[in-house]
Amino acid sequence: MDAMRTTYLEEANDLLSNLERALLALETNANDKSYIEEVFRVMHTLKGNSSMFGLPVIAEFVHDLETIYDKIRLGEMQLSKELLDCTFSCLDHLKIIIHDSDLSNPVNKNNHETLIHQITNFINQKGLSTGKQEQANSEHTLKTYHIYFEPHASIFNNGTNPLFLISELAAMGVSKMIPHFKVPEENQEFASESCFTYWDIYLETEKNDKDLMDVFVFVEDSSKIEITELGSLDLVNNKEFDAFINRGIYKHVKTDLEEIKAFAGKLQELSSGKTETAETVKTTELKSVKKEKVEKTISSIRVSSDKLDELMNLVSELVTTQAGLSLFAANNKITELEVITENVEKLSRRLRDIAFGMTLVPINNMFGRFQRMVRDVSGVLGKEIEFLTEGGETELDKTIIETLTDPLMHILRNSLDHGIERAEEREAKGKSRSGKVVLKAFYSGVFVYIQIVDDGKGIDVDAVRSKAISKGIIKSTDFLSEKEIFDLIFYPGFSTAQKVTDVSGRGVGMDVVKRNITDLKGTILVESKIDEGTTLTIKLPLTLSIIDGLLVVIDHVNYIIPLSVITKCYAVNNKDMMGSFNNLLILDEEQVPFIHLRDEFGYSSMPNAQSQMIVVNNGERKVGISVDTIIGEYQAVVKPLGKYYTKQDFVSGASILGDGTIALVLDTNKLIELFIKKIQTEEKSWQLN
């Protein structure tokens, strides 16, 4: 729980500083819409997070702010200097109250109410002068009142429920309610429809006695109500006072108010001397707590990602240089040099692993937070949801995980809110009552896949289409494939939700999701079937800029195949390969389809009688890839291809070898995909002919 709280705070701090930046930018470029969007988005995320972590005070506060910026965004309201000032003070206030989310500090509470007043004024566009508001609020100080409330016996006959009045009082501050009961005299018939209860109420509130009297406005004529101010001391939580008033509780007599007043006065006198010492004790306590915290946090430090990036860069340069050194040593046969080279190689490998370890975190860290969110959100929505995670051990770059959390959170929320149906609805469709959402992470080749699979109602293609038309995103005459229609949900401002809810809605989110993932050089794919569910697949490149690969050669060109995808290598006769039916080979008594790369790459001649068949994993199946020769294992520093080669999709990067030549890193999954596509088109054209 504490770890989650820390995460929340970390995130909230980040969000708030983003908000600050956006607001500052907005102040200088008031007409720039993108900053308003940014402000709105940050608020939206903060609201979502806060409600997820059970902090309604913050969530509601931000919700109000968000409403204002929503109006500005939609052009219903104008941005003014006053509003920006107010937003900045709200921002400062938020920075404080994320640490005091139940406003236990009265100063915070006071500020909070002042700001809420200002915000509401902006929303109502009444533009009440804010200065006056503050003054009115600053007059409010905490006072303890004694309220005696004896409803008329016939109070029920007017349809009044005295308990509503009691709870209205309770909502005004900290209170202690002591109910008393009039005991009907013996032999007297029990009048079941009369009120026998009366109350002694101790209330600590910042409201004044007029506000208190207002509560009883409908019953003041018929009931006995006495309100007495007992002083500014917090008596409700005072143990001595508590003990004092408790003496009389069960006596069923009207409490002697004069006695109580005198006692309260005595306590106040006593405490005014005490408070000072208490205060100083508190501050020293606070200080020691702070110190402890500092000592604890030193075990982990935050490093700027720039520094980490630089470290990674240097390590990859080192690995490249080391490869050159190894080659030089091997060619020159100097014994001493070979020993040194070996050591350098070992060290650089360890250095590489450690440098990577710094940035890699198992995705599990993120899953835990989702579990909590699903639990809470399903409670709010009143849906039965089973949430499963797979592949939590999959490791990803820390920065990727951080960027990914928000988008995933959003997708999940959408799945829960719009995807999964209510239990009754599901039953009617013949599905299990509880919906299932699976979050999967797995490696495939040099990519990490993250899938969110739900078995909900799926995406209604027609609804999305007509919505897009009504929003003017597409024309009614446009013809779009199903995939293109699904992609529309990532369009800015697109949302099929009917209502703005706490959980999702407002049409921010999916576009941000898409942008975040594109920023990570990933792709997102939506597949959905009505009443069967929706699957969102996020594909991210492993940012591992150094991979363990297998260096192979095809026609004097070097290629690297990531070791992680390779299962086994075989030597095969070219004759067998050429003569095979349907590109199938029997390897270890198993039929393995293969790709004859030499052939595919357009080299005709066969230099050797034998080729090497490298069997790689492609999802569930195994596929062979033939190459001329295998050189060996190689630590490859993967550099991106230049911008001229962006269309080249089966090569994911290139690496400089020790001797300065270049090796291309193959993306085997893409390669296989392309090959299958090619075969299919060939088959089609063959059928057509």
Partner 1 sequence: MKKNILIIDDSESIREVIATGLESAGYTVIKGINGEDGLKCLAANPSLELIITDLNMPVMDGISFLKEVRKSEKHKYLPVIILTTESQEAKKQEARNAGATGWIIKPFSKEKLINVIKKVVR
CA–CA distance, 257 with 270 (Å, rounded to integer):
20
Please choose, out of 155-163, 460-468, 473-481, 518-526, the segment that lies near partner 1 by the rule CB under 8 A: 155-163
User: Near partner 1 by CB under 8 A, which window of 153-161, 270-278, 343-351, 627-635?
Assistant: 153-161
Q: What is the dihedral of CA 232, 233, 236, 239, to 10 degrees?
A: -170
- A 10 A CB-CB count for 519 gives 9
Tell me which stretch binds partner 1 (CB under 8 A): 57-65, 159-167, 291-299, 517-525: 159-167
* Sign of the Cα pseudo-torsion (563, 566, 569, 573, in order): negative
CB atoms within 10 A of CB 166: 20
CA distance linking residue 23 with residue 29, whole number of Å? 10
One-letter amino acid of 481: S
Site stretch for partner 1 (CB under 8 A), options 158-166, 561-569, 632-640, 651-659? 158-166
Residue span binding partner 1 (CB under 8 A) among the ranges 163-171, 479-487, 519-527, 544-552? 163-171
Would you say 194 or 399 has its CB closer to partner 1?
194
- 196 or 603: CB nearest partner 1: 196
**Minimum distance from CB of 252 to partner 1 (Å)?**
26
Our finding on whether 183 is near partner 1 (CB under 8 A) is no
Residue 130 and residue 82 in contact, taking contact as beta carbons nearer than 8 Å = yes
List of E strands, 542-646: 546-554, 557-562, 566-573, 584-587, 590-596, 610-618, 621-627, 629-637
**410 contact partners, CB below 8 Å, separation of at least 6:** 504, 509, 510, 512, 513
Q: Does 6 bind partner 1 (CB under 8 A)?
A: no
Q: How many positions of this chain bind partner 1 (CB under 8 A)?
A: 15
C-alpha R_g of the chain? 35
Instruction: Determine, following the binding rule CB under 8 A, whether residue 218 of this chain makes contact with partner 1.
Output: yes
Determine, following the binding rule CB under 8 A, whether residue 67 of this chain makes contact with partner 1. no
Instruction: Please pick, from the candidates 2, 186, 189, 221, the single residue that binds partner 1 as defined by CB under 8 A.
Output: 221
Q: Which stretch binds partner 1 (CB under 8 A): 214-222, 455-463, 577-585, 643-651?
A: 214-222
Nearer to partner 1, 34 or 154 (CB): 154
Applying CB under 8 A, the span of 210-218, 361-369, 463-471, 533-541 interacting with partner 1 comes to 210-218
- From candidates 10, 32, 85, 168, binder to partner 1 by CB under 8 A: 168
Smallest Cα–Cα separation from 200: which of 148, 155, 163?
148
**In angstroms, what is the minimal distance from the CB of 51 to partner 1?**
19
Shortest Cβ 132–partner 1 spacing (Å)? 19
CB of 217 to partner 1, least distance (A): 7
Any contact of residue 156 with partner 1 (CB under 8 A)? yes
The verdict on 159 binding partner 1 (CB under 8 A) reads yes
The CA distance from 197 to 181, in Å, is: 5
Would you count residue 424 as binding partner 1 (CB under 8 A)? Answer: no
Nearer to partner 1, 163 or 243 (CB): 163
Q: Among 202-210, 218-226, 311-319, 677-685, which window interacts with partner 1 (CB under 8 A)? A: 218-226
Task: Find residue 627's DSSP bridge partners.
Answer: 612
CB atoms within 10 A of CB 92: 14
Does the footprint of partner 1 cover residue 85 (CB under 8 A)?
no
Among 29, 167, 608, 629, binds partner 1 (CB under 8 A): 167
Work out whether 158 is an interface residue with partner 1 (CB under 8 A): yes
102 binds partner 1 (CB under 8 A): no
Min CB(157)–partner 1 separation in Å: 6
3-state secondary structure of 131: helix
Contact between residue 352 and residue 319 where contact means Cβ atoms under 8 Å apart = yes
DSSP conformation letters of 425-480: HHHHTT--SSEEEEEEEEEETTEEEEEEEE-SS---HHHHHHHHHHTTSS-TT---
Q: Which is nearer to partner 1, 218 or 601 (CB)?
A: 218
Instruction: Report the residue number, 215 or 616, with the smaller CB distance to partner 1.
Output: 215
**Least separation in angstroms between CB 356 and partner 1:** 55
* C-alpha–C-alpha distance, residues 560 and 562, integer Å: 6
| Residue of 46, 52, 55, 165 interacting with partner 1 (CB under 8 A) | 165
Q: How far is CA 260 from the centre of its chain?
A: 52
* HEC assignment per residue over 516-556: HHHHCCCEEEEEEECCCEEEEEEEEECCCCEEEEEEEEECC
Residue 161 contacts partner 1 per CB under 8 A:
yes
Using CB under 8 A as the binding rule, whether residue 164 contacts partner 1 is answered as yes
Pick one of 1, 74, 183, 217: the residue that binds partner 1 (CB under 8 A): 217
Compute the distance between CA of residue 76 and CA of residue 69 in angstroms, rounded to an integer. 10
Q: Where along the sequence are the contacts to partner 1 (CB under 8 A)?
A: 156-161, 164-165, 167-168, 215, 217-218, 221-222
